[in-house]
């Protein structure tokens, strides 16, 4: 990314916040590829044949962001919130699929239809989401770090900047956060 692009993204975000629709249209080509990479990384952890594609995930997140009134700080803030929103969309999708799998008020289906519908969902994301929710109750900052790094696609330096921390503090706290999440997921299995 060219050095001036983060500044351009930040300026467009501020203009968009002020109601400049032209800025919103200019923003899309500058952020789309990065959002698509984040979405693809999130979707790689999902089961094969997932009904939500990275493109659909980006579009859904962008539509929700476009309808919100967020006081954008900068490019990193935009990507952090976008990643959080994409994570929420995937989790909601997984929960909805789980409800549908348990019936969800649907009528009977044939044996052939049941065979198609019974593909096991990948519960890893739900386990990670549950662990992050628990972590955020006791250590909100550490939960946010994981969200920004792993779901947001931010670098350690960008995450440290967004969270107003030194890189050393971020690295030290991430050791604890990773260990806590892994322990929590292991306990759930």
Q: What are 20-47's pLDDT values in tens digits?
A: 889 988 998 989 988 888 888 877 766 6
Rounded average pLDDT per 10-residue block, the chain, 189 residues: 72 89 89 87 72 87 83 83 86 72 47 38 70 91 86 81 90 92 83
Same domain? For 61 and 141 the reply is no
Cut 0.85: pTM above it: no
Does residue 118 lie in a domain region? Answer: no
- What local confidence, expressed as pLDDT, does residue 114 receive? 37
- Residues 99, 15 within the same domain: yes
User: What does the pLDDT read at residue 141?
Assistant: 92
**What pLDDT does residue 112 have?**
38
Residue 25 lies in a domain: yes
Q: Is 92 found in the same domain as 170?
A: no
User: Which residue, 179, 171, 182, 126, is CA-closest to 145?
Assistant: 171
The domain in which residue 152 lies consists of 123-189
**What's the confidence (pLDDT) of residue 3?**
57
pLDDT, position 117: 37
pLDDT of residue 121: 42
- Between CA 153 and CA 74 the distance in angstroms is 15
- Residue 131's nearest CA partner among 91, 171, 159, 162 is 91
Q: Give the CATH number, domain containing residue 183.
A: 1.10.10.10
* Model pLDDT, residue 174: 93
Both 24 and 81 in one domain: the answer is: yes
Query: What local confidence, expressed as pLDDT, does residue 99 receive?
Result: 55
pLDDT at 1: 47
> Where residue 26 sits, what CATH number does that domain have?
1.10.1740
Are residues 142 and 99 located together in one domain of the fold? no
Q: How many domains does the chain have?
A: 2
Burial of 3 (0-12, 13-18, 19+ CB in 10 A): exposed
H helices within the chain, ranges in order? 5-17, 21-44, 54-66, 75-101, 111-117, 124-138, 140-146, 156-163, 167-188
Domain boundary among 90, 112, 134: 112
- Whether residue 117 lies inside any domain: the answer is no
d(CA 64, CA 129): 20
Q: Are 97 and 133 in a shared domain?
A: no
Q: Rounded to 5 degrees, what are φ and ψ at 48?
A: -60, 145
């Amino acid at each position: 990314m060219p050095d001036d692009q983060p500044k351009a993204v930040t300026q467009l975000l501020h203009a968009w916040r002020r109601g400049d629709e032209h800025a919103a249209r200019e923003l899309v080509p500058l952020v789309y590829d990065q959002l698509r990479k984040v979405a693809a990384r999130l979707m790689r952890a999902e089961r094969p044949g997932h009904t939500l594609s990275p493109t659909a995930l980006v579009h859904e997140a962008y539509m929700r962001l476009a309808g919100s009134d967020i006081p954008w700080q900068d490019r990193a803030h935009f990507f952090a919130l976008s990643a959080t929103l994409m994570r929420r969309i995937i989790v909601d999708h997984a929960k909805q699929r789980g409800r549908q799998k348990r019936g969800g008020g649907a009528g009977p289906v044939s044996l052939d239809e049941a065979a198609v519908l019974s593909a096991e969902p990948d519960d890893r994301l739900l386990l990670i989401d549950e662990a992050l929710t628990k972590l955020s109750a006791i250590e909100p900052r550490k939960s946010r770090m994981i969200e920004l790094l792993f779901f947001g696609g931010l670098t350690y330096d960008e995450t440290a900047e967004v969270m107003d921390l030194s890189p050393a503090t971020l690295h030290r706290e991430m050791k604890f956060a990773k260990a806590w999440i892994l322990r929590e997921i292991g306990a759930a299995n």
